[in-house]
Chain A
Amino acid sequence: MSNLEAFRADARAWLEENCPPSMRTPMVTDEIVWGGRNATFKNPDSRLWLERMGEKGWTCPTWPTEYGGGGLSNEESLILADELRRISARPALSSFGISMLGPVLLEYGTHEQKMEHIPKIVRGEIRWCQGYSEPGAGSDLASLQTKAVLDGDNYTINGSKVWTSYANLSDWIFCLVRTDSEVPKHSGISFILFDMASKGISTKPIQLISGASPFCETFFDDVQVPARNLVGRLNDGWTIAKRLLQHERTMISSFGLAGGNIDRGANNMTLDQAAKHYRGDTDRISDPVLRDQIASFMIDTDAFALTSRRSAEESKQSEGPNATSSMLKYYGCELNKRRYELMLSAMGNRALGWAGDEFDSGELAITREWLRSKANSIEGGTAEVQLNVIAKRVLGLPDLLSLGRK
Chain B
Amino acid sequence: MSLILNEDQRMLKESALSFCRENVPLSVLRRLRDSGDELGFDADIWRQIVDLGWTGMTVPEAYGGFDFGFGGLGIVLEASGRSLLNSPLISTVLLSVTAINLGGSEQQKQAHLPAVVAGESVLAMAVDEKPHHDPVDVRTMATVDGDSYLLSGRKVMVLDGHIADWLIVSARTSGNVSEENGISLFVVDARADGISVERTHMVDGRNSATVILENVRVSAESLLGDRDHGYVLLERVLDTGRIGLAAEMLGSMQEVFERIIEYLRQREQFGVPIGAFQALQHRAAEMYCEIELCKSAVVAALNALDSESTEVPMLASLAKAKCSEVFCTVSNEGVQMHGGIGMTDEFDIGFFLKRARVAQHLLGDQVYHRDRYASCKNF
Contact = CB atoms under 8 A, between A and B. Distances in A.
B285 A390 contact: yes
A272 B292 CA distance: 25
A299 B370 contact: yes
B272 A390 contact: no
Nearest to B3: A310
B246 to A, nearest CB: 11
A395 interface: yes
Nearest to A331: B289
B293 A398 contact: no
B286 A387 contact: yes
Interface in B269-288: 272-273, 275-278, 281-282, 284-286, 288
A296 B272 contact: no
B18 to A, nearest CB: 23
B281 A307 contact: no
A391 B322 CA distance: 22
A403 B276 contact: yes
B177 interface: no
A388 interface: yes
A56 to B, nearest CB: 29
Interface stretch (B19-27, B328-336, B371-379): B371-379
A302 B369 CA distance: 14
A284 B378 CA distance: 7
Contact of A395 (B261, B375, B379): B261
Given A300-B322, A388-B281, A395-B284, A331 B293 contact: yes
B295 interface: yes
B379 A391 contact: no
A285 B294 CA distance: 26
Interface in B345-379: 367, 370-371, 373-375, 377-379
Interface string A291-306: 1101110111011101
Contacts of A95: none
Interface SS majority for chain B: helix
B265 A396 contact: yes
B43 interface: no
A295 B373 contact: yes
Contacts of B300: 306
Given A314-B4, A387-B282, A397 B289 contact: no
A313 B3 contact: yes
Contacts of A400: 272, 276-278
Contacts of A310: 3-4, 295-296, 299
A303 B276 contact: no
B379 A294 contact: yes
B320 to A, nearest CB: 10
Contact of A397 (B275, B375, B377): B275
A390 B275 CA distance: 13
B276 A299 contact: no
A327 B265 contact: no
B310 interface: no
Given A387-B285, A396-B265, A397-B264, A284 B272 contact: no
A398 B272 contact: yes
Contacts of B97: none
Interface in A375-406: 384, 386-388, 390-392, 394-400, 403
B124 interface: no
A396 B262 CA distance: 10
A55 to B, nearest CB: 34
A295 B374 contact: yes
A192 interface: no
A302 to B, nearest CB: 6
A101 to B, nearest CB: 28
A295 B289 CA distance: 19
Given A272-B379, A303-B322, A292 B261 contact: no
A276 interface: yes
Contacts of B107: none
A303 B3 contact: no
B35 interface: no
B268 to A, nearest CB: 10
Q: Which of A275, A304, A317, A391 is the most central at the interface, judged by chain B CB atoms within 10 Å of its CB?
A: A391
A324 interface: yes
Contacts of A276: 379
A295 B284 contact: no
A387 B281 contact: yes
B318 interface: yes
B285 A391 contact: yes
A370 interface: no
Given A299-B322, A397-B284, A399-B276, A285 B299 contact: no
Query: Which of A276, A295, A327, A396 has its CB near the most chain B CB atoms (within 10 A)?
Result: A295
B315 to A, nearest CB: 8
A334 to B, nearest CB: 9
A392 B281 CA distance: 8
Interface string A235-274: 0000000000000000000000000000000000000110
Contacts of A313: 2-4
Nearest to A404: B272
A284 B318 contact: no
Contacts of B273: 397-398
A34 interface: no
26 contacts: A272-B377, A285-B379, A291-B371, A291-B374, A295-B374, A296-B325, A298-B377, A300-B293, A302-B297, A303-B294, A306-B3, A306-B299, A306-B300, A309-B296, A313-B3, A324-B292, A327-B288, A388-B281, A388-B285, A390-B289, A391-B281, A395-B284, A397-B261, A397-B273, A398-B273, A399-B276
Given A313-B3, A384-B282, 17 more contacts: A284-B374, A291-B371, A294-B374, A294-B379, A295-B379, A298-B373, A303-B293, A303-B297, A303-B318, A307-B295, A307-B296, A313-B2, A391-B281, A392-B281, A395-B261, A397-B261, A398-B272
